Amino acid sequence: MSERPFPFLKFARALPAEVSIPIRVADFKEINRDFVDGEAADQASRCIDCGNPYCSWGCPLGNRIPQWLKLVKDGRIEDAATLMHETNPLPEICGRVCPQDRLCEGICTLDEGFGAVTIGAIERSVTDEAIKRGWRPPEATSRTDKRVAIIGAGPAGLSAADRLVRAGVSADVYDRHEEIGGLLTFGIPAFKLEKDIVRTRRRVLEEQGVRFHLGVEIGRDIAFGKLVDDYDAVFMATGAYAAVDARLPGQDMPGVIVALPFLIANARHQLGTATDADVLPDLRGKRVVVLGGGDTAMDCVRTSVRLGAERVTCIYRRDEANMPGSRKEVRNAREEGVIFRFLAQPLAIVGNGVVDGVEIAETRLVEDGDERARCEVIKNSSQTIPADVVILSFGFLASPPEWCARFGIETDDNGRLKAGGGSRLPLQTSHAKVFAGGDNVRGADLVVRAVLDGREAARSILSQLNVVA
Ligand code: FAD
Ligand code: SF4
């Protein structure tokens, strides 16, 4: 019998092996191991090079996926890494945290019927391997005397820094945290993205010439105006940090905590940089209820499992299909024992001085012509879910720095910085020397779109400074 002609039939779609559930919930390590023994090449060979690369359209960065899959298939790891970095300054990070099912893989021609090519896992493992072998992003061919200040070492800031130094421009990145990464380090838990990966990228960027100034808050330690005066351009990549307040009765009771401070405290305990301010509740043996259905809520439920909670319940007012969180994260949470209560609206946090439950009402979704179905509370359906700890995770809004108004940097009604449009360069604000991108312009969004903004802001800055990349 002849061999099967199509590699996508010979090799089934496969992700790198997952650590078994009892082992993975015992620590904060990533749950997928690396591809081994040519598995990445086998998986890359499943690409049928369909002619119209839907995957590239589905990727916000327009990654040249079929081209680098071919290089991986041929074992040309360093060449594949070079091509990946042409469009994506942080491929090993996007490969780990992108919701691929909604982006590149969700649109792969093989997705229906055969299983999409495992694009994210290949992107991640090829970059890890290339860096391990000593490969580095291409260097600038010449240096200029131009200098750019970047506020924020999250994905938007890091992406811009990479593009600028590769064009021979100095990049000084300021961040109030003690480590780079923004939410990559102080939001997304290590079971999705181990912090050594971010530290490795820091080393790579420093070798490229990026200078980090950490533990420095602009507006407190250095005036924003000084950066505007001292540098040729400023890129604001400050994120979106105003937690949405659902104003639930009882939310100020002891036992109610807010998602991001909880995740940051846990990150700092993992990093060994926690201070007295980073209070991590003892969840051992406790009943934890997380309110919300986004990526942050998924990170909170899975973190609670790892911190020893006895029972973890996620309450979300819409149904599973309408959850904003990534499908793979919901699946992972469920596998780790998290209970989901969909179509349930929290009404109040109840208790006698300390939390002992969350009062909820059932909801139904009503289609009334809007893009998203409306959520309607069903009368007389309330009940109380017992809880010792409640974590509020209702999302984030933009939090523009106070200096924006003083420097004429416009924001919209939702506090997002206005960037681009009209006669401005893409991502240029209403202050000619100041550019902005990532969550502070989009509102809470995705890593890959912050990376895109960093890349495109750098392009605009280079154009303004007349630097040919
Ligand atoms: P940030 O990552 O927020 O970085 C902004 C940086 O600016 C921070 O380091 C901050 O300290 C610094 N900064 C702000 N103001 C100042 C100042 N005045 N001086 C100095 N420094 C300053 N997206 C995904 O794609 N996949 C996921 O799985 C995912 N999970 C998430 C989980 C959580 C818990 C959260 C909160 C978000 C998640 N996201 C995820 C969204 C993603 O992390 C963000 O969209 C992305 O990090 C935005 O990048 P950014 O560079 O714009 O901002
Ligand atoms: Fe897919 Fe994200 Fe990689 Fe683009 S950056 S190819 S969306 S994993």
What's the whole-number mean pLDDT along residues 107-127? 94
* Positive/negative CA dihedral, 320, 323, 328, 330: negative
What are the beta bridge partners of residue 365?
Answer: 375
Nearest ligand for residue 58 CA:
2
Nearest ligand for residue 60 CA:
2
SS (H, E, C) 261-327: HHHHHHHHHHHCCCCCCCCCCCCCCCEEEEECCCHHHHHHHHHHHHCCCCEEEEECCCCHHHCCCCH
127 and 169 part of one domain: no
3-state secondary structure (DSSP) of residue 94: helix
| Separation CA 302–CA 188 (nearest Å) | 11
Tens digits of residue pLDDT in 180-212:
999 999 999 999 999 999 999 999 999 999 999
pLDDT at 59 exceeding the cut of 60: yes
End-to-end CA distance of the chain: 54
Give the pLDDT of residue 327: 85
Give the chain's largest Cα–Cα span.
76
Q: Please indicate whether residue 96, judged by its CB atom, sits closer than 6 Å to ligand 1.
A: no
Nearest ligand for residue 102 CA:
2
341 and 439 part of one domain: no
Which residue among 132, 164, 190 closes a domain?
132
CA of 124 to the centre of ligand 1 (A): 20
Give the pLDDT of residue 386: 97
| Separation CA 127–CA 136 (nearest Å) | 10
Ligand 1 pocket: which of 257, 295, 298 to mutate (most atoms within 8 A of CB): 295
| Percent helix, percent strand, percent coil in the chain, to nearest 5 | 35, 15, 45
Give the pLDDT of residue 67: 96
304 and 323 part of one domain: yes
Q: In what order do the strands lie in the sheet with 170-175?
A: 211-214, 170-175, 147-151, 233-236, 434-436
- Ligand 1 atom closest to Cα of residue 193: 28
pLDDT at 3 exceeding the cut of 60: no
Q: Which pTM was predicted?
A: 0.96
- Which ranges constitute the DSSP H helices of 391-446? 403-406, 439-442
CA of 182 to the centre of ligand 1 (A): 5
Nearest ligand for residue 393 CA:
1
pLDDT at 177 exceeding the cut of 50: yes
Ligand 2 pocket: which of 56, 88, 449 to mutate (most atoms within 8 A of CB): 88
Domain membership of residue 371 (yes or no) is yes
Q: Please indicate whether residue 152, judged by its CB atom, sits closer than 6 Å to ligand 1.
A: yes
Give the pairing type, strands 374-377 and 355-366.
antiparallel
Write the CATH number for 47.
Answer: 1.10.1060.10
Residue 418 in contact with residue 405, Cβ under 8 Å? no
What's the whole-number mean pLDDT along residues 336-365? 96
What's the whole-number mean pLDDT along residues 303-323? 96
Average pLDDT, the chain: 95
Q: Quick one: tokens of 337?
A: 């024992």
Cα distances from 188 to residues 260, 345, 400, 456, in angstroms, run 10, 26, 22, 24
Q: Please indicate whether residue 157, judged by its CB atom, sits closer than 6 Å to ligand 1.
A: yes
What residues make up the domain containing 448? 147-240+398-464
**Ligand 2 binding residues, C-beta < 6 A:** 59, 61, 63, 65, 88, 94-95, 98, 100, 103-104, 119-120, 123, 448
Cα distances from 107 to residues 49, 61, 116, 122, 396, in angstroms, run 13, 15, 8, 16, 28
Q: What are phi and psi of 328, to 5 degrees?
A: -65, -30
pLDDT at 93 exceeding the cut of 70: yes
What's the whole-number mean pLDDT along residues 82-95? 98
CA of 183 to the centre of ligand 1 (A): 4
231 and 256 part of one domain: no
Count of structural domains, the chain: 3
318 and 279 part of one domain: yes
265 and 391 part of one domain: yes
